[in-house]
Amino acid sequence: MAEPDYFRTRDHVPDFDEHVAWYRARSSQTRAGQPNRCDVRYGQGENASLDLFFPMDRGGLAPIHLFIHGGYWRMFDKSDFSFVANTVCGAGGIAAIMNYDLMPHVRLETIVGQVRACAAWLVANAGSFGGDPKRLSVSGHSAGANLSCFLVSKDSPVRPSAILALSGIYDLAPLRHSFLQPDLKFTDSEIARFSPLSMDIAGPGEITLLVGDAETPPFHEQARALRTKLSNEGFAVSFETVETANHMSIVAQLESPGTRPGRLLSAMIC
């Protein structure tokens, strides 16, 4: 019997479509109820835009939090994850939910460049939307967790104060043997360059790695491996398993400060 494809999320989360429907419905509610400025351009590329969400009560410069969505670099949209702003804005921060161009129409190098450009834009333009350029934190889910790591590499133009990485992919090599390879077509060079487990990391103040306890083995193994790498290199890093969470439900928990991921997100907004 062939080994299951642990990266084919639909095979391991039976209610995959229900989760996606919840993302979109809750995000629509957030855009209707939370002050926002949507579709702000941050750089080059068809999808190089972001949505800004603001706290109800604004006084002085607010911390900025950037969220990077997942979808194996090939699906989803910033509008699917507006719900993350509920916790960020509730804690007094400004939420920036970004878009990026998707594979296979662009290569991963382009996407990494867009993530860095977005973070740099937020810092450079913070004054125009009431943000504090000295207080930038970042979270990302799945492919977004992978992308968040490129803001703590030694060649990143911007370095956030903290990273919250949920269900990340930190070694691209196993994806070449998954259902994704015919679409993504990762090369040896891309695997070497864009796997956080092999990159030179400078590090922010703190890196927190989360994985749902119901996720498949590679997500646990890769998070533990990254924790070991960062710890051995002297960085402040923590790893937690979130009870009863799978690959789709863990990111939904960012919507509520009453969940463990939500509490960790709230604590970053300072």
Q: Return the pLDDT at 3.
A: 81
* 259 Cβ neighbours under 8 A, 6+ residues apart: 253
pLDDT digits (tens, 9 = 90+) for 207-257: 999 999 999 999 999 999 999 999 999 899 999 999 999 999 999 999 999
**pLDDT at position 176:** 95
Q: What is the pLDDT of residue 1?
A: 54
Residue 136: closest CA among 88, 100, 170, 76: 88
Domain ranges of the chain: 36-268
Task: Tell me the DSSP string of 35-100.
Answer: -EEEEEE-SSSTT-EEEEE--SS--S-EEEEEEE--STTTS--GGGGTTHHHHHHHTTPEEEEE--
pLDDT at residue 20 in the model: 98
Cα 237 → chain centroid: 17
The domain covering 36-268 belongs, at the CATH homologous superfamily level, to Alpha/Beta hydrolase fold, catalytic domain (3.40.50.1820)
What is the pLDDT at residue 121?
98
**170-213 pLDDT tens trace:** 999 999 999 999 999 999 999 999 999 999 988 667 899 999 99
**Residue with tokens 């463990």, as numbered in its chain:** 260
Amino acid at 117: A
- Asked if residue 129 lies in contact with residue 164, where contact means CB atoms within 8 angstroms, the answer is no
Mean pLDDT, range 32-61, rounded to an integer: 95
Res 205: pLDDT: 74
pLDDT of residue 160: 95
User: What DSSP string runs through 153-184?
Assistant: BTT-S---SEEEEES-----GGGGGSTTHHHH
pLDDT confidence tier of residue 46, bands split at 50, 70 and 90:
very high
> 2 pLDDT exceeds 70?
no
pLDDT confidence of residue 204: 66
201-216: string of b/e by CB count within 10 Å (b at 16+)? bebbebbbbbbbebbb
Give mean pLDDT, residues 27-55. Answer: 97
Phi-psi region of 246 (alpha: psi -120 to 50; beta: other; left: phi over 0): beta
Strand order across the 36-41 sheet: 36-41, 49-53, 94-98, 62-68, 131-141, 162-166, 206-212, 237-242
- 50, 96 contact by CB (below 8 A): yes
How confident is the model at residue 57, as a pLDDT? 86
Phi, psi of 50 (to 5 degrees): -145, 160
State the pTM of this model. Answer: 0.97
pLDDT tens per residue, range 94-114: 999 999 999 999 999 999 999
- The whole-angstrom distance between residue 13's C-alpha and the CA centroid of its chain comes to 20
- Token representation of residue 151: 């803001």
Q: What is the pLDDT of residue 202?
A: 84
Residue identified by tokens 């979109």 is 24
Instruction: Give me the amino acid identity at 31.
Output: R
